[in-house]
Amino acid sequence: MAAMHAAANMVPDFTFRRSIELADLKRLVEPAVIFEGEHVDTDGVTAYIYTVAGWLDGRNIATIEGGCTVGGEAMVIHADDRASADYLAGLGLMDTIEADQANEQATLDGLAALARLESVGPLQRVDLATAAPADKSTAFEEDAKAIQHLLGDGIVSH
């Protein structure tokens, strides 16, 4: 039989838990959070600890020990009560998944825009960039805006 601990400030050791990466998180089927315990920090504030559950490539990532960490980290939620913490943990998980999906889509859109801009000769790009506002192509402006997401990724240089 599994051991249970009743101490309110005892947090499980997540060192040997299964861990997934952020890229795996968005591939989860039926993502969920698992309450792992609560911890009272040195300031007397209660933190609620959560891990992730769901199905990845047809395999349940949770075990009898509990949920899975993301990048080796558990979620720490500060809230007034457990119900609020449960809500915030679930909302945070879904927001993280949606933000990562949006970031991936922005990268794909930026790469497509870059390909369109590179299909035009350099002199024509200069003409489009320096055209009067009334003569500018909205498609060119949208593509120029879309590639801004790629700056800093080493894909587009200034």
* Three-state secondary structure call for residue 64: coil
Q: Given pLDDT bands bounded at 50, 70 and 90, which one contains residue 8?
A: very low
Is 12 inside any structural domain?
A: no
Q: Which domain holds residue 66?
A: 19-150
* Overall domain count for the chain: 1
Is 135 inside any structural domain?
A: yes
Is 14 inside any structural domain?
A: no
CB atoms within 10 A of CB 138: 7
Is 157 inside any structural domain?
A: no
> Is the pLDDT assigned to residue 131 strictly greater than 80?
no
Structure tokens at 46: 């209660």
Q: What is the pLDDT of residue 2?
A: 42
Is 137 inside any structural domain?
A: yes
Q: Among 67, 61, 59, which residue's Cα sits nearest to residue 36?
A: 67
Higher-pLDDT residue of 114, 137: 114
* Alpha-carbon gap, residue 60 to 58, rounded angstroms: 7
Q: What is the pLDDT of residue 124?
A: 78
Is 10 inside any structural domain?
A: no
Structure tokens at 133: 């506002």
pLDDT digits (tens, 9 = 90+) for 133-146: 766 667 777 777 78
* Alpha-carbon gap, residue 73 to 88, rounded angstroms: 17
pLDDT digits (tens, 9 = 90+) for 72-107: 999 999 999 999 999 999 999 999 999 988 888 888
Q: Given pLDDT bands bounded at 50, 70 and 90, which one contains residue 156?
A: low
> Is the pLDDT assigned to residue 128 strictly greater than 90?
no
Is 117 inside any structural domain?
A: yes
Is 90 inside any structural domain?
A: yes
Q: How far is CA 90 from CA 16, 25, 75, 117, in A?
A: 23, 13, 10, 40
Specify the range with the lowest mean pLDDT, choosing from 48-57, 103-112, 114-123.
Answer: 114-123
**Exposed, middle or buried: residue 66 (CB in 10 Å: 0-12, 13-18, 19+)?**
buried
> Is the pLDDT assigned to residue 149 strictly greater than 80?
no
Q: Given pLDDT bands bounded at 50, 70 and 90, which one contains residue 56?
A: very high
